Amino acid sequence: MDRPNEPTFLPKGDNSVTVDIPSEYFTDRYKPLEDSLSNRFSTDDRVKIKKIAIPDLSYPLQLGRRDNFSLFIPSHHRMAASLINTFMGLRTLDDFMSVAAYARDRVNPYMFMYAMSVAILHRKDTKNLNFPSFHEIFPDKYVDGELFARAREESNVVPENQRMPLEIPVDYTASDLEFEHRIAYFREDLGINLHHWHWHLVYPFDAPMDIVNKNRRGELFYYMHQQVMARYNFERFCNNLPRTKRLLNWNDPITEGYFPKLDSLVASRVWPARVANTRLSDVNREVDQIKFDIQDLERWRDRIYSAIHSGSIVNAQGNSVQLTETGGIDVLGNIVEASILSPNRNVYGDLHNLGHVAIALSHDPDHRHLETFGVMGDPATAMRDPVFYRWHAFIDDIFMEHKNTLPRYTTQQLDYPGVTVRDVEVMPNGGKKNVLSTYWQQSDVDLSRGMDFTPRGSVFARFTHLQHTPFTYKIQVNNGSGQRMGTCRIFLAPRLDERGLPFLFRDQKNLFIELDKFTVNLRPGANTIERKSTDSSVTIPFERTFRNLEQGRPGNENSQTGQDFNFCGCGWPQHMLIPKGARGGFPCTLFVMISNYQDDKVETASGSSCADAASYCGIRDALYPDKRSMGYPFDRLPREGADTLRSFLTKNMFTKDIDIEFNNRTVRPKTPGANAQPTTQPK
């Protein structure tokens, strides 16, 4: 998967292997040179590719090798789905390798890597295979484009052991004249963008049915993106910005502009920018086989809202199907996204995906300038753009509209009789009680796997990202009955709204970000529960975001098992678990609840892997591990009379005022590539 533009037969690097491909697999350009190329590049370590009859790839080959690939454009995702289908259908691992080697030199590299990744994740014989993280193969989707010229210079001139990390300035996409730039560190965070890419890799909306049809995937589409919005709004408050405004009037100019400054190494183009006040237009681009009007989006939106208000949808057979209390959100998620599980695409269309496309093509909707799509067209880059959040605030509002029609949780559905949470505190390692501490950290990422036709050896890019001191929750619980189990749910929200005034609970509940969820055993009487922030059920470990595949190899002290590198790439990055806070302390409310495990538990396949970021990503090959509606207990309107958080609380819940204190200092790696997870408060 390294160096996506280089031909397959080229050896990878220092410890490289030569891929011996059958001569029929050479592309036309290289066929006449076959003998000299094989000798020039071969190494002793060889992987032999078996020659087989190649299945028909003419459909995925319709996308040009140098074109950009968008998962949201229907013709593109259909081609990708067909390629995935081909990969999944190959009987043996040898056959899979063979077709992959053939396709790699011909198919569009982005589409190839996407389809390969989905196939490797889901084929039984490759599930535990290591593959490099997407930012290593396509660093151009994550790194300031300006860096690559410097990286080439560094790798051509400087010997590997003397190369310096190339620092990416914090303010490379905009200046402080743009208010939205205050939270660029969130939007452009490597780990957040990787999480989003991985989420969509694990939950594709168009692929063979057995891959798409995962337990509660429509509901998880809603919940994961709802949490992204809550986290973004929380982060906005920390930076004196108000909540995101929904993108509602699609004929009005879009206030926010965005200039990504990413260069595509594959398409050899810069990613197009969107100037402030761009308007959406009807899209008609023959090149992408795509044609739809803004009015189509409006019709789909209106039909979805009217389905929500009537409490039922119409399926493809014309029958009315109820949006049930627990299952309705899952159906709605698939309709809105839309995935191939949508029960009626003729009526409800493809609202969310084509919204991404309309925005991504707003600078050239009819292809008159021969431009490709902007960052909103790709899940690997979409979260960089401020308009992503305006679009998803609208999408989230649709789901909220449905949630608001549901019966409100009764006290009985919230309480766990006999269980009383008496206190909670957070203790940062080496810090002050109930004050979380954040600061900047720099980490290095190796670009060399993604840099084609350059000398081998590592070239590091140095990122600046938010970090927090790890901490421990200490929860005091009284259990007035015998031994039993509970689910501990921990959330955090800003204490005051953007005006500095107390919230109405119905607004504040939407800003609660999930920090953790885990099962607890309660003894009769007093219990003290301790839990580390690094064990969070929403995050993947720091090392998994800023990893280097070599470090993951067995024998290395940072070794992880192969499974960590694929499905397990999904998960909110640990370094972004806690919002930035503010200097002098940002006031927050920590919420803890212990619910009755009997009402939460799900029969999960034992030994399921990749369970450590289950809250936003689910568990591989298993049911979603919590039977409650995702977002419980904040997903529905509060019961009559519960106007404030305090009045919402039952005995098994507890809240604590805590602060997040931001320190404006930067911790750097000691040597290039030596990224370190913090263990205590840095001095």
Please identify every residue annotated as catalytic.
337
Closest approach, Cβ 247 to ligand CUO, in A, equals 12
The nearer residue to ligand CUO, 183 or 360, going by C-beta atoms, is: 360
The nearer residue to ligand CUO, 380 or 426, going by C-beta atoms, is: 380
Closest approach, Cβ 101 to ligand CUO, in A, equals 31
Cα–Cα distance for residue pair 335/331, rounded to 1 Å: 6
Q: Which of residues 216-245 bind ligand CUO (CB under 6 A)?
A: 225
Residues 6 or more apart whose CB falls under 8 angstroms from that of 486 comprise: 416, 419, 477, 519, 520, 522, 594, 595, 596, 597, 652
Which of 379, 386, 486, 569 is close enough to bind ligand CUO by CB under 6 A?
Answer: 379
Rg (CA), the chain: 25
Give me the 307-346 binding string for ligand CUO, x by CB under 6 A, dash otherwise. ----------------------------------------
Which of 382, 436, 466, 593 is close enough to bind ligand CUO by CB under 6 A?
Answer: 382
The nearer residue to ligand CUO, 352 or 620, going by C-beta atoms, is: 352
Q: Which of residues 383-412 bind ligand CUO (CB under 6 A)?
A: 392
Is residue 303 a contact point for ligand CUO (CB under 6 A)? no
Taking a C-beta distance cutoff of 8 angstroms, is the pair 61, 107 a contact? yes
Here the tokens at position 273 are 């920018």
DSSP string, 387-426: HHHHHHHHHHHHHHHHHTTSPPPPHHHH--TTEEEEEEEE
Closest approach, Cβ 228 to ligand CUO, in A, equals 8
DSSP string, 185-197: HHHT-HHHHHHHH
The nearer residue to ligand CUO, 548 or 615, going by C-beta atoms, is: 615
Site size toward ligand CUO, by CB under 6 A: 8
The nearer residue to ligand CUO, 72 or 440, going by C-beta atoms, is: 72
* Residue 351: exposure state from Cβ atoms within 10 A (0-12, 13-18, ≥19): buried
Is residue 356 a contact point for ligand CUO (CB under 6 A)? yes
How far, rounded to the nearest angstrom, does the alpha carbon of residue 394 sit from its chain's CA centroid? 19
Is residue 301 a contact point for ligand CUO (CB under 6 A)? no
Cα–Cα distance for residue pair 270/522, rounded to 1 Å: 57
Cα–Cα distance for residue pair 580/236, rounded to 1 Å: 10
The nearer residue to ligand CUO, 375 or 568, going by C-beta atoms, is: 375
Alpha-carbon distances, residue 308 vs 323, 330, 352, 429 (angstroms): 8, 13, 16, 47
Beta strand 283-285 with 471-479 is unpaired
Cα–Cα distance for residue pair 615/536, rounded to 1 Å: 9
Closest approach, Cβ 177 to ligand CUO, in A, equals 28
A 10 A CB-CB count for 360 gives 27
Which residue's structure tokens are 């990749």? 610
Closest approach, Cβ 258 to ligand CUO, in A, equals 15
Here the tokens at position 87 are 């990969």
Q: Cα–Cα–Cα angle for 160, 165, 166, nearest 5°?
A: 120
Q: Which of residues 562-621 bind ligand CUO (CB under 6 A)?
A: none
Which of 3, 141, 196, 274 is close enough to bind ligand CUO by CB under 6 A?
Answer: 196
Here the tokens at position 78 are 């259909």
Q: Is 72 left (phi over 0), alpha (psi -120 to 50) or beta?
A: alpha
Question: Which residue ranges make up the site for ligand CUO (CB under 6 A)?
Answer: 196, 200, 225, 352, 356, 379, 382, 392
